Amino acid sequence: MMGSPLERKGCAFGSHRVLEPPGAFPQSAWRLDSTPVVFDNEILCDVDALNVDSASFRQIAESCEDDAGRIAARILEIVRERGKQHNPHTGSGGIFVGRVREIGAAIAARGDVRPGDRIASLVSLTLTPLAIEEIVRIDMTSGRVWVKGTAVLFERSSFAPLPDDIPAEVALAVLDVAGAPAQVRRLATPGGTVAVVGADGKSGMLACAQARDRVGVSGRVVGIAPSAETAGARFLIEGNYVDAFIAADARSPLEILGEIPQALPELADLTVNCVNVPGTELASILCTKDGGSVYFFSMSTSFTAAALGAEGVAKDVTMIVGNGYTKGHAEIALQTLRDHPALLAHFVERYGVQPEAA
């Protein structure tokens, strides 16, 4: 960057940080400038941890044969090459949690954030300038990566203060998938039927809880995952968050089709896809009735496969792109935990891991 950044106002969407290609926005850019010096309308944060999105972490872990050292090296390689955590294979990133170090004058005038505040980013790491000095630890189960580094938020970047009543590590895990429960709250209707594909993961569990609230006692929630024996699946079944559970691999449409008559005899008004693997588009479509909707929250979704798959099986369904941003999505996601103490306890047990805990 040329000149004195503090004397200049950058683009509200961050295009001034794009190094290549010229004219791109940060998300679609190949490389960003992650220099830790704020422009007039930026926020500079010291980063404590990344919550790498599930599809991205799974791809990196598999390519590194689940070796934590190799995974750390690969993440560092991506960030150093691109100036952001943007997996070139999945096209996805995650979010970060950290502490505000410095804010530009234009941001300070807004009055919604101060140096020292603990915040979580609500925009993808695929568009967030990021520099990592060191990777301290990786949690192979959750995809959380503790780091020493810095990140830059733009004028239009969303973020949320960390709540006082929910552990920071749990809040990070939940805010990373905040769009899922918020969209279910918007799309599910009283008395309707909701099917959640990938129900036993964190986005799937939040989606099931929100669906349970929305459809009410006259509605129906069906969970779908490869096994009914995972901790998440057992929790949903034993806690009556689902009325039925299909233990089947959504990558096999024929397997799902064989289970549908008993669990979803009238099919779903809304199907929510929360998986972290590709190839589940057609199974999600088959679960949905004509005139219903499929919400593809998963970053593993091929929208070509979804569009052509629906055409191939003659399904008239509305297919919705998984927009990670919904107005009020952070508070909706956190409130979902508050409204369901048992779910909060499960998330604390599952995701409340501290860096020093081995």
The residue-averaged pLDDT of 274-284 equals 93
User: How would you classify the pairing of strands 268-273 and 288-296?
Assistant: parallel
Residue 108 CA to residue 102 CA, distance in Å, equals 9
Residue 245 in this model has a pLDDT that exceeds 80: yes
> How many C-beta atoms surround the C-beta of residue 313 within 10 A?
12
169 versus 234: the higher-pLDDT residue is 234
Q: Which two tokens stand for residue 235?
A: 């929790």
Between the two ends of the chain, the Cα-to-Cα distance in Å is 40
Residue 55 in this model has a pLDDT that exceeds 90: no
Q: Which of 64-73, 78-87, 321-330 has the lowest mean pLDDT?
A: 321-330
- What share of the chain has pLDDT > 70, as a percent? 96
Specify the long-range contacts of residues 114-117, CB closer than 8 Å, at least 24 apart.
117/161
Q: Which of 7-11, 194-198, 220-224 has the lowest mean pLDDT?
A: 7-11
Residue 2 in this model has a pLDDT that exceeds 70: no
In DSSP terms, 320 is beta-bridged to 295
What are φ and ψ of residue 5, in 5° steps? -55, -40
Q: CB within 8 A of 319, min separation 6: which ones? A: 285, 293, 294, 296, 303, 306, 307, 310
18-52 per-position pLDDT tens digit? 999 989 999 999 999 999 999 999 999 999 999 99
Position 173 scores a pLDDT of 87
8-state DSSP, 249: -
H helices within 190-302, ranges in order?
A: 202-215, 231-238, 253-263, 281-286
pTM: 0.84
The upper half-sphere exposure of residue 169, i.e. CA atoms within 13 Å in the direction of its Cβ, equals: 19
pLDDT band for position 172 (cuts 50, 70, 90): confident
Rg value, the chain, Cα: 21
Q: Which domains does the chain have, with CATH numbers?
A: 5-162 (no CATH), 179-328+335-343 (3.40.50.720)
The residue-averaged pLDDT of 193-201 equals 97
The residue-averaged pLDDT of 291-301 equals 92
The residue-averaged pLDDT of 235-258 equals 96
